């Protein structure tokens, strides 16, 4: 039985959210080892490009072929999508906590919806607007649902968190343009290349690599593969079948998955308000999937 495009997109975004749901805690652990988010961003971008390039070169070299006219797109996507969202999210974690960083980043679907209504003259779909509202409320309940938890925001963390939301919204919307011409892995490979090139003007990767322990390098490898290449690859592939707002709403499952993983494997308690928040996010995902609406996206 063939899976419909809608359900294929849903499964891909859920896979991405599941991997991201674990990675935030790993990143926080790395920062607790006195690793700078600037260093981690440089390493993450550089090795994501290297591993993706080597993989495509070994399996399907045709996916590495692009034209000169594609370069402005990849530079824009890599700088304002890939590099911006990765650094801003990591910096927010270093300044606040994982829950706050995730909540701020997942304001991105709201921004993507506003972009569609203002610039693309899209009519707001009732179920999509309601799903956005439920997802944001659910995220807030998850963040604030535990005793002693809640939003931990300083000025730098708030600004970088909002920047990460803007970057993720841009990433979601602008990916669609690249997907119209290229394979999703091509888009991610050259987006990572452009992001790494941009970052090297501030901090070359070889400087960021110096002085780290073997243990840290194992965590770096985890971040590169399981927090970057695979989830971003699944997310972009999911965007082939879903519009950016719907994909963004589904990806808000990340904090729900993170809370469930912590409950199952770390024996962390789940409090009633957090359970309610998770239920609201799940309801938002079910609602937006059942609605079956795919709005017009930029080509």
Q: Tell me what pLDDT residue 174 has.
A: 95
- Of 134, 115, 223, 226, the residue nearest 176 (C-alpha): 115
**Buried b / exposed e along 164-195 (16+ C-beta atoms within 10 A):** bbbbbbbbbbbbbbbbeebbbbbbbbbbbbbb
pLDDT of 78 above 90: yes
Whether the predicted pLDDT of 254 surpasses 50: yes
Specify if 299 maps to a domain.
no
Q: Between the CA of residue 209 and those of 34, 202, 203, 231, 291, what are the distances in Å?
A: 14, 14, 10, 23, 47
Q: Is residue 33, in this structure, part of any structural domain at all? A: no
Write down the pLDDT at residue 294.
42
In a domain, 251, yes or no: yes
User: Looking at the predicted structure, is the pLDDT value of residue 265 above 90?
Assistant: no
Of 298, 220, 168, 167, the residue nearest 46 (C-alpha): 220
- pLDDT, residue 147, reads 67
Residue 145 inside a domain? The answer is yes
- Give Cα separations from 64 to 20, 193, 225 (angstroms): 26, 12, 19
Q: What is the DSSP string of 30-85?
A: HHHTT--HHHHHHHHHHHHHHHHHHHHHHH-GGGG---GGGHHHHHHHIIIIIIHH
**Residue 287 pLDDT greater than 70, yes or no:** yes
Q: Are 77 and 239 in contact (CB under 8 A)?
A: no
Give the separation between CA 279 and CA 285, rounded to whole angstroms. 10
Contact at 8 Å (CB) between 27 and 93?
Answer: yes
Domain span at 78: 38-291
Examine residue 10 and state whether it is found in any structural domain, yes or no: no
Question: Does residue 91 have a pLDDT over 90?
Answer: yes
Supply 2's token pair: 């063939």
What domain count does the chain have?
A: 1
Do the domain assignments include residue 239? yes
Q: What confidence score (pLDDT) does residue 249 get?
A: 92
Q: Name the residue among 1, 48, 5, 22 with its Cα closest to residue 241.
A: 5
294 SS3 class: coil
Can you give the pLDDT at residue 2? 65
Query: How many percent of the chain have pLDDT more than 70?
Result: 93
Mean predicted lDDT score pLDDT of the chain: 89
Q: What is the 8-class DSSP label of residue 182?
A: S
As separate numbers, helices (DSSP H) first and strands (DSSP E) second, the chain gives: 15, 0
State how far the Cα of 87 lies from the Cα of 224, in Å rounded to an integer.
13
User: Is there a domain that residue 16 lies in?
Assistant: no
């Amino acid at each position: 039985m063939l899976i419909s495009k809608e359900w294929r997109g849903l499964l891909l975004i859920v896979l991405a959210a599941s991997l991201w749901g674990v990675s935030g805690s790993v990143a926080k652990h790395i920062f607790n080892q006195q690793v700078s988010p600037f260093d981690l961003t440089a390493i993450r971008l550089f090795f994501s490009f290297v591993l993706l390039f080597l993989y495509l070169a070994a399996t399907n070299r045709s996916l590495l072929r692009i034209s000169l006219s594609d370069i402005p797109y990849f530079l824009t996507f890599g700088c304002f999508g890939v590099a911006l969202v990765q650094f801003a999210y990591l910096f927010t974690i270093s300044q606040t906590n994982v829950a706050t960083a995730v909540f701020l980043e997942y304001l991105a679907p709201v921004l993507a919806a506003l972009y569609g209504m203002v610039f693309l003259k899209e009519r707001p779909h009732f179920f999509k607007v309601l799903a956005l509202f439920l997802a944001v409320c659910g995220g807030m309940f998850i963040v604030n649902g535990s005793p002693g938890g809640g939003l931990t925001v300083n000025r730098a963390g708030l600004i970088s968190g909002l920047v990460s939301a803007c970057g993720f919204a841009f990433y979601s919307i602008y990916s669609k343009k690249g997907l119209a011409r290229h394979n999703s892995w091509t888009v991610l490979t050259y987006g990572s290349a452009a992001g790494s090139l941009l970052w090297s003007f501030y901090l070359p990767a070889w400087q960021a690599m110096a002085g780290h322990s073997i243990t840290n390098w194992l965590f770096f490898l985890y971040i590169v593969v399981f927090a970057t290449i695979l989830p971003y690859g699944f997310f972009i592939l999911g965007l082939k079948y879903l519009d950016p707002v719907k994909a963004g709403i589904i990806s808000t499952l990340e904090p729900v998955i993170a809370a469930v993983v912590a409950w199952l494997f770390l024996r962390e308690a789940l409090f009633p308000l957090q359970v309610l928040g998770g239920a609201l996010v799940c309801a938002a995902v079910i609602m937006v999937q059942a609605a079956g609406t795919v709005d017009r996206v930029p080509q």
